[in-house]
Amino acid sequence: MRRAGKTLIAAAVAVTCLAGPSDAEETPGETVSVATPAAVPRTAWGDPDLRGTWPLQNINDARIPLQRPAELGTRGWLTDEEFAERLRRAEQSDAEYSTGLDGDGTVGLAAWLRATPVGRRTSLLVEPADGRLPALTAPAQELYAKGRSTWQAAAATDWVSDLDAFERCITRGFPAVMLPQPYNNGIRVFQSPGHVVLQLETFGTRVIPIDPTGHWPEAVRAWHGDSRGRWEGDSLVIETTNIVSGDSATNDVAGRAAGPVPGRNLAMLPVGPSARVIERLARTGPDTIAYRLTYEDPDVFTAPWTVAYEWTRDEDYAIFEYACHEGNTVREAITSARALRKETAAAP
């Protein structure tokens, strides 16, 4: 677990889907005002240039939640007082954890919050309007309740097949791998003619052909699905289908965001066979990308949901190997769970 020691602050740019109104009462809208075509950097072959290192660590460190607190209703933006409290926590975090700061307040987590419209967000979720995940369908609720994890004291984890995909170090689920988490939030973008590559610090690399002509046959599935890209003006649109489905093909983002469920601290969600993800990336300045993701899974969620936030370039951020299975920790977790069950059964 680590955090970036320093953040590069981008120039102010207009991003309609990210910027908040002064009265903090608007429900976030969804058109993206990208940089003018002349200002968008381009590759040698003419595509918009998205290359660089774009860690999401600041979003996590600033405690900007995926879901909006229910008491805020449809209010998408913090009040001045609420934003001041978020800044206070960020300044305290800078003082305790950041290294290499210049001391004048122009870099660091607090400076990033002041520079990005995301800093005033009440949630990363912008649709539905209440900033909260839609309800699960009845079949998904049933599968969700059956989920198991070694974090459950009484979990019947006798073999690796009893564990969820996250604990088996396979994946957090898709699109969860594209959302901020507590650590290892690096994203590095590479491009070549006909391809965009997203190197994720946690759980793998996505190789995305710029080819909207068709996806794999329905029976062919992958943990992170089949992603196909296309350019719409200067925006990269990525459509992902063919995601591994089933009650063990889990996506941890919604369960974790919803908070602990009685008896289940690591709540994992099923994935339906028709799950589909649409991502949009657009350069908005020299060091910023507007990112928007919509997830549709009619077998699991009663409605689609959308997140939107900003990526900020930081070429000082170093991506490290995510050595999830060092020490064979899954074996230790299974052994511990077995021992706990035996101890519980033997108790008077």
pLDDT tens, 37-79?
Answer: 558 999 999 999 999 999 999 999 999 999 999 999 999 999 9
CA 107 to chain centre: 24
**SS3 call for 72:** helix
Say what percent of the chain tops pLDDT 90.
Answer: 53
Residue 325 pLDDT level (bands cut at 50, 70, 90)? confident
Stretch among 4-8, 82-86, 252-256, 326-330 having the lowest mean pLDDT: 4-8
pLDDT at 232 over 90: yes
Residues with Cβ within 8 Å of 168's Cβ and at least 6 positions away in sequence, in order, are: 160, 330
Report the candidate in 322, 337, 344, 341 with the shortest Cα–Cα distance to residue 162. Answer: 337
pLDDT at 252 over 80: no
Residues with Cβ within 8 Å of 108's Cβ and at least 6 positions away in sequence, in order, are: 6, 7, 90, 94, 98, 101
Q: Which of the two residues, 198 and 23, has the higher pLDDT score?
A: 198
**Residue 50, CA distances (Å) to 188, 287, 288, 331 in order:** 9, 10, 9, 40
Report the candidate in 198, 202, 173, 189 with the shortest Cα–Cα distance to residue 60. Answer: 202
Is-contact 28 41, C-beta < 8 A?
no
The pTM is what? 0.82
CA 38 to chain centre: 30
**59 phi and psi, to 5 degrees?**
-60, -45
